[in-house]
Amino acid sequence: MGRTIEIYDTTLRDGTQAENFNLSVEDKIRITQALDKLGIDFIEGGWPGSNPVSAEYFQKIQRISLKHAKISAFGSTRHFRNRAEKDPNLLALLAANTPAVTIFGKSWDIHVRDALHIELDDNLLIIEDSLAFLRPKVVHLLYDAEHFFDGFKDNPDYALATLGRAVAGGAETIILCDTNGGTLPQELPPIIERVKQYLDGCGRKVKLGIHSHNDSESAVANSLLAVSCGADQVQGTINGFGERCGNANLTSIIPALVFKMGLACEVRKHIDRLYTTSRLINELANLPNNRYQPYVGESAFAHKGGIHVSAVKRNPLTYEHIEPDKVGNIRRILISDQAGRANVLHKAKQWGLKLSASDPLLSSIISELKELENQGYQYEGAEASFELLMRRALGLQRNYFKFESFRVTIHKYHMDQPPLTEATIRLYVGGNEVHTASMGDGPVNALDCAMRKALTRFYPCLEEMELADYKVRVLSGEHGTEAKVRVLIESQDQVCSWGTVGVSVNILEASWQALVDSINYKLMKEDSKK
């Protein structure tokens, strides 16, 4: 196994600078515990004193026992007009009482003159002075060389001089930051080599780190290349959250370090937690999961084409670069108009349905699937509807109710008031005719409410079920408002969620189809428990 790499997570600080990414103190505590279980070495908790959430986090995290991770407080070098021992920022870092402190300083002469409004030598002084003040008072002291690569390209001698002062001040790790995210991978090796040569002459051994932003879509590549050039620490965020286009994505970097580059890190022991950690952070931030994300995305190991599926069943290496369970993900076989016999047989096995390759019903199911998808149905996001289709073809689907008719009325009674929507339905459950109506917030909600009202007294389990998501897509614009629409509905109960689909030129009929499938699927699930 290769050398050991430190993983430094800044989701709780840099990640929260992303647009629409917000965390409460309780969220930050839960994420800290999850990152600790994953094996992250350093967790940057925030900037003490910058806001009440960060201040409360650093107070509460003191009472949390972590198995491996070290919490780091983040801040800047002292203000030029303040002495280090009187600087509020440095004192707030110490008051956070964390085992690690990370401070950043200016590496780019443009920032020194235009942002700080001080002389270049003054900036060198406050870098060394700030670190020297902190060094005896903290266990781990790290220095972020902000805008280092831009600074180096503009004035290499000065950018290197800032690193020298950080070493003189006592930093144990020097992190090179591509703060604007504009550096391309081929630019890194000669710069890092020059940095290593310079640091070797500073008289004290220090670690080297990389902190990349993703404005050129190069953050992961830059991070991995920096490690291959000798960097000892990688900084990033889970799922790549961060300001503007985001930070280097640790959920892509960590598996590459472990499985591709053969390097050691604590996360290697727990890397099968990567998928659940990624989804937990999305959930706590109330953001959707990126299904196309490498390694941890829902589609990362999803196979759609029939030839692919057949090959993967024989040997997964044919279309998978690693085994999905290594990062806690799963292999998924999609049902689509490209599906072959292997896809359908795989799904039948997954759902416990007896269907063999020689069964004539297999061809019938594939034919029906392709015909329906020609009409606009899609089952990749509606596998519950496809399972019901297969069960009906095999004669296994019970008729829980018989639909007769529905009507939806919308009454716009006053122009400055929302309309009233009412759905009326008529159906049979066994020999019982049910004719009922319900109001709703819009026609689909009214239909959903009317169906529940009609069926719940026969099937009480429907009270546990709720509609979680509703999507409409226009399939063709050729006929304007007469175009077909596809409705995808996601429903859920306390145990799981499932997707169903409906297609029609009428959005209410398409919605009704998806709702009926959703209720039938819930009832079928309940039957399977008996």
**Side-chain half-sphere of 287: how many Cα atoms within 13 Å?**
21
Domain ranges of the chain: 6-284, 302-371, 376-400+459-530, 407-455
DSSP for 170-198, written as a single string: T-SEEEEEETT----GGGHHHHHHHHHHH
Confidence (pLDDT) at 376: 84
Q: With DSSP H G I counted as helix, E B as strand and the rest as coil, what are the percentages for the chain, rounded to 5?
A: 45, 20, 35
Q: Can 376-400+459-530 and 407-455 be said to share one CATH topology? A: yes
DSSP class of residue 77 equals P
Tell me the per-residue pLDDT of 383-422, one tens digit each, with 9 for 90 and over. 899 999 999 999 998 899 998 899 999 988 788 888 899 9
At residue 291, the pLDDT reads 86
Give residue 377's pLDDT band: very low, low, confident or very high (50, 70, 90): confident
Whether the CB-CB separation of 321 and 252 falls below 8 Å is answered with no
**137, 173, 175 from 194: Cα distances, Å:** 31, 17, 14
Q: How do beta strands 173-178 and 140-146 pair?
A: parallel
Q: What is the DSSP letter of 267?
A: G
Strands 485-492 and 497-504 come out as antiparallel
The DSSP output letter for 78 is: P
Report the topology of domain 407-455. Double Stranded RNA Binding Domain (3.30.160)
CA dist 19 and 17 (Å) reads 6
Confidence class for position 423, pLDDT limits 50, 70, 90: very high
* The pLDDT value given to residue 339: 57
Give the DSSP letter string of 136-177: GG-SEEEEEEETHHHHHHH-HHHHHHHHHHHHHHT-SEEEEE
Cα of 289 vs its chain's centroid, Å:
5
Give the CATH number of domain 376-400+459-530.
Answer: 3.30.160.340
pLDDT tens digits, 74-88:
999 999 999 999 999
Q: How far apart are CA 264 and CA 254, in angstroms?
A: 10
Confidence (pTM): 0.72
Structure tokens at 177: 């930051």
The reply to whether CATH 3.40.50.720 applies to domain 6-284 is no
Sign of CA dihedral 301, 302, 306, 309: positive
